[in-house]
Structure 1
Amino acid sequence: MKFKLVIVAALVTLGGSSCETKQFLNINTNPNQLPTALPNYVLTNALNITATNLAGNTIGNPGQNANELGFYWAGQWTQGNGYIINTSQFAYQFTNGDFNYWDTFYDNLEDYQFVINNADANNQKFLKGPAKVMKAMLFQQLVDMYGNIPYTDALKGAATLAPKFDDQKTVYESLITSLDEAIVDLKANAFAGGFGTSDIVFGGNTTKWIQFANSLKMRILIRQSRVSGRESYIKTEINKIVTEGSGFITGSDVGIGGPSFFQPAAGQLNPVYDRWGYNETGAKRALNNYPRPTQFLINSLKAAGDTLRLKRIAYATGGESSSTPGVSTKAEIAANYSGTPFGASSGYLPANTSSIGPSLIVKGDYNRAYIIMTGSEVQFLLAEAKQRYSDVTLPNTAKAYFEEGIVQSFRVLGANTAGAAAFKGSKIQNYDWDASTDKLAAIAIQKWVALTNFSGLEAWAEYRRTNLPVTPQSGQVPDARRPLRLFYPNTEAGSNVANVSAQGTIDVFATKLFWDVD
């Protein structure tokens, strides 16, 4: 929340050969005045920073990125036993000095605010809509980690050095309004000329941005679906989305970067590949042995006969073949997939456990887009909306959205989508819609599977909201307690002490967020 100098990395690379020669000896240049960055360059850099903040690629610093922590606390991943157990993650022994995603998220938000503030003056109005959509996504994630946060007073630089905190429920409502404003901007301002290249998400496709905004609105609305008194509001907002008419992300995903952006050079790889996979020369990262799919996840997939997705979520024991990228060293049969109990500190070494699979890591595949929202998640949001509120104007049935959610999960994992049809009429609980006795539970559990490897923060938020699936407690914890939120970081407590103190005493095992009702 402190005043931040906007520094745009790699402008020479992004700008090509058009840079003008700097006049270092110009005596009329004020050395204390920052140069002006163009909004299109800042947007590109901001999007890349978002990917890095969520995925993380700090070698030797495991567990310090937001999505990774979510995968652990949602019960999808755990730690390999080739390392000393991380007690902050798996014994829940953490303080306000751990898991500081606050500073990096707010720094990133400052970049998007810079784009919004400067787009008009630079004749780049088309950048405001995308920047507002990304702001909304990051602010929701901050609420989902910390509860009350600075919002109306935030991002004002030196004008407000000690911003007040806003009520988390009010922030959620404001995010819906801000996404409505983003959609208005997107409809009014098509990308001009070659500026689409600065948009490393949709390449300047404003329709896709509007569909992403609508999908984020559904995420925000459904997160509140168990809060008493919210039904009328949620139904009204869903009907407004349908009336708007642009629809949702369908049959594809929202990803940052991709083959035209990520390069085979240090610091320019897809951040997931760089952190848990390989470096720019193809050498395996030490952290490749760190995250492991949990025993609960793998055994659940086996029990349901969900082996096609299993083989994409994880590699068989022994990991990826050194000679055939994307293929396991051992035969890809169910017996060769072995999960690690959540929080286990011994007995499950890398050689005899499964590792993160080809849906995420394939040697040489360094330039995939970093996915921030899957088409599968959107279908499960729509399924829950229709199941809870049958009279909303969404055109399909809850069953149709649910079954399409499974299809889209197969697709994004790289599995044959025809395999999803095998679950129709299978009588398998939480897979076959008709046979599932609790439809909302089936949606929650399938969404949990579909978020694996892609959206850890979302998986942890949904786990807290639904309490599903019922995952085993960490082997490092003797009781049933689990983290419900994070502490406000000591950096904010030091510089904004009065406003942090006004939030009261935070107990991370008891102080629930407003949407976490049980």
Structure 2
Amino acid sequence: MKKHIVFSLLAGFVGFTACESLELDLTENPNALVDSQADVDFFLNSIQEDFVRHLDGDANFDPNDNFVSGGNTNGDGLSNIGLELTRVDNLNGRQYLSAYQGSDFNDEWTNAYTGILKDIRTMTPLAEAADQVHHIGIAQFIEAYVISSLVDFFGDIPYDEALQGTANLNPNVDGGASVYDAALTLLDAAIANFEASASSDPAYDLFYDNDYDAWVTAANTLKMKLYLQRRLVDGSALSSFQTIVDAGDYITTTGEDFEYKWGATSVTNPDTRHPRYGLNYQAAGAGDYMSNWLMNFMDTTDDPRIRYYYYRQTDAVPGADIAPNEEVLNCSLEAPPQHYIDGGFTFCYLRNGYWGRDHGDTDGVPPDGFLRTTYGVYPYGGRFDDDSFQGIGPGQGGAGAGITPIVTATLVDFMVAEKEMVENDPAGAAIALEAGMRKSIAKAMSFGSLDSGADFSFAPSMTDVDTYVQSIIDAFNDATAMEDKWDILGEQYLIAQFGMGVDCYNFYRRTGYPRTLQPNLEPDPGTFIRSMFYPSNVVNTNSSISQKGDQTQTVFWDNNPTAPEAN
């Protein structure tokens, strides 16, 4: 067992444990406490921490967490991968086959199995013996999310035979559909536990502070998400979704959002800042490149969220506002590829200081850490863009006190809009689309207060917001083809889900929209990734799992005959 430190808004709490094993052998460390001596609260704290890392990874490869091997991804986490593939963030990979390798997912797999799921298996009998049913309910909710998201990214995964220790070191995979069924069963059990009386509540509920009515609401909403996710292969999915809507107990306001709030009380041991902040607000400047597609789309449509999503370190990009510069932006001296010209896509540089990269750009890293655009105040806790155009550094803006949005009221509105579109009710979809956009914009704008030093005379007015929302709704209603309406819905879905890539990746594969995304720089990048390679560590240690030949294998709910059009 290894020591962890809770990264929460509660500064100073430092003593919980989590079990560690590079395989699924679950062997015990003779120098540590045995499981029967462990505290249920310690286990639950570790489960909650590792769950957030499952989505957003880490910023400093802390040896005390499960994200230590690195890989090709900056900071890891499933959300990061989904954002990159859908152009919400930048993808570094001109060939999809090589963009992500099995080694890139070792941390996520280890964190899920020998972190989260193993700790749940160990904690549960201890909690049952003490009648701590609320601890168990939270663990069941988290397990349901984790196993369903593993299916979303990898397809069939070990579940029924997993986590049996030396009794089975080579667990077989279960079909993704059966794992989804197990997730729904877990959520029903979680709801029952939330509604029951417990002998004691968790010392630290990092999501709802022991409000179990809120937990029930979140569990119902996660069930809605799972039903919608499998609607292509489950004829009863939409009716099951609607049954929850009709009952009314699901997330409808942003105050009910299921999200993790990063405390930003410490930089190390543990780093309690949002990982994307920690990877970009560095002494050496920004570490990530932003998506040229999304920045351009938001800039040219006057999206009121853009100053909250992005912070520009300069007001001019070589090739656009100033002369090309080979040293800091090599592509500013290059001609765009023919398929970019034919499709009318932006290439390399954008106006107004939005300095990012195109989808698939694999250029090296020039000395542009204090020039490239970086993440803003929402949701990562960075700076509000007030045209100050200053180089960024540690502690600026919100100091990393952002959020990991997981299941939100905005997502619910977009799920309802999707259902209405599937049922050929674009008028109903327009109502839900507007509601989702307004919630998304209001939430992003509320984060401005994190950056106390910003000049908010540059903040959008309510007139700006109304004008923008109406322009999108008018375009949606005026579109005569359903495909064009889907494109508009898809574009707004991706923008609203900024910071949560699991649902972006799922939506894009499930619907195939929007078709308007910037394609890969490579004219023939290969088929879009329909599922990920299995992690190298499990393929090398589990004889029951063979590596996929490529990433074109679909997960069980994805029966689309072709990959998304915007390859």
Common topology (TM > 0.5): yes
Q: Are 2:477 and 1:434 aligned?
A: yes
Report the Cα offset of residue 208 of structure 1: 1.4
Whether the 8 Å contact between 2:94 and 2:520 is mirrored in structure 1 is no
Q: 1:197 to 1:249 in 2, by over 3 A?
A: farther
Report the Cα offset of residue 350 of structure 1: 4.2
Report the Cα offset of residue 355 of structure 1: 1.6
**Paired position in structure 2 for 1:376:** 410
Q: 1:381 to 1:163 in 2, by over 3 A?
A: same
Q: 1:94 to 1:301 in 2, by over 3 A?
A: closer
Report the Cα offset of residue 369 of structure 1: 3.9
Report the Cα offset of residue 134 of structure 1: 0.6
Report the Cα offset of residue 137 of structure 1: 0.7
Whether the 8 Å contact between 1:277 and 1:361 is mirrored in structure 2 is no
Match of 2:87 among 53, 56, 75: 75
- Secondary structure, counterpart of 1:411 in structure 2: helix
Q: Which amino acid aligns with 2:13?
A: L
Whether the 8 Å contact between 1:436 and 1:442 is mirrored in structure 2 is no
**Aligned-partner Cα distance in 2 for 1:390–1:15:** 53
Q: Deviations over 1:408-463 (max 9, x none)?
A: 1112322669454324543x4x77542344344433221111112x1123222222
Report the Cα offset of residue 88 of structure 1: 8.9
**Aligned-partner Cα distance in 1 for 2:125–2:310:** 44
**Paired position in structure 2 for 1:48:** 49
Report the Cα offset of residue 67 of structure 1: 2.1
State the TM-score, normalizing by the size of structure 2. Answer: 0.72
Q: Deviations over 1:56-81 (max 9, x none)?
A: 224484433322222211112226xx
Report the Cα offset of residue 244 of structure 1: 4.9
Q: 1:388 to 1:90 in 2, by over 3 A?
A: closer
Report the Cα offset of residue 496 of structure 1: 1.8
**Aligned-partner Cα distance in 2 for 1:244–1:159:** 44
Q: Deviations over 1:171-221 (max 9, x none)?
A: 2222222211211111113684xx454111110111111121122112212
Listed as ranges, the gaps of 5+ residues in structure 2 are 16-29, 62-69, 316-349, 383-395, 447-459, 563-567
- Secondary structure, counterpart of 2:129 in structure 1: coil
Q: Are 2:254 and 1:235 aligned?
A: no
Q: Are 2:318 and 1:316 aligned?
A: no
**Aligned-partner Cα distance in 1 for 2:173–2:167:** 16
Q: Deviations over 1:32-78 (max 9, x none)?
A: 86262222221112111222232222448443332222221111222
**RMSD between superposed Cα atoms in Å:** 3.3
Q: 1:442 to 1:197 in 2, by over 3 A?
A: farther
- Secondary structure, counterpart of 1:335 in structure 2: coil
**Aligned-partner Cα distance in 2 for 1:196–1:483:** 40
Q: 1:295 to 1:368 in 2, by over 3 A?
A: closer
Q: Deviations over 1:347-392 (max 9, x none)?
A: 984455422222123225333443323321121112222333479x
Q: Deviations over 1:136-174 (max 9, x none)?
A: 111111001110011222333344322221111222222
Match of 2:514 among 469, 480, 483: 469
Q: 1:238 to 1:273 in 2, by over 3 A?
A: closer
Report the Cα offset of residue 334 of structure 1: 7.5
**Paired position in structure 1 for 2:66:** none
**Paired position in structure 1 for 2:300:** 303
**Aligned-partner Cα distance in 1 for 2:551–2:210:** 43
Q: 1:32 to 1:479 in 2, by over 3 A?
A: closer
- Secondary structure, counterpart of 2:173 in structure 1: coil
Identity %: 22
Match of 2:360 among 343, 359, 364: 343
Question: In terms of mean alpha carbon deviation, does 209-218 or 109-118 score higher?
Answer: 109-118
1:180-199 paired onto structure 2 within 5 Å: 180-189=188-197, 192=200, 195-199=201-205
**Paired position in structure 2 for 1:218:** 224
**Paired position in structure 2 for 1:22:** none
- Secondary structure, counterpart of 1:255 in structure 2: strand
State the TM-score, normalizing by the size of structure 1. Answer: 0.78
**Aligned-partner Cα distance in 2 for 1:203–1:305:** 38
Q: Which amino acid aligns with 2:417?
A: A
**Aligned-partner Cα distance in 2 for 1:199–1:417:** 36
Listed as ranges, the gaps of 5+ residues in structure 1 are 17-29, 80-85, 279-283, 320-332
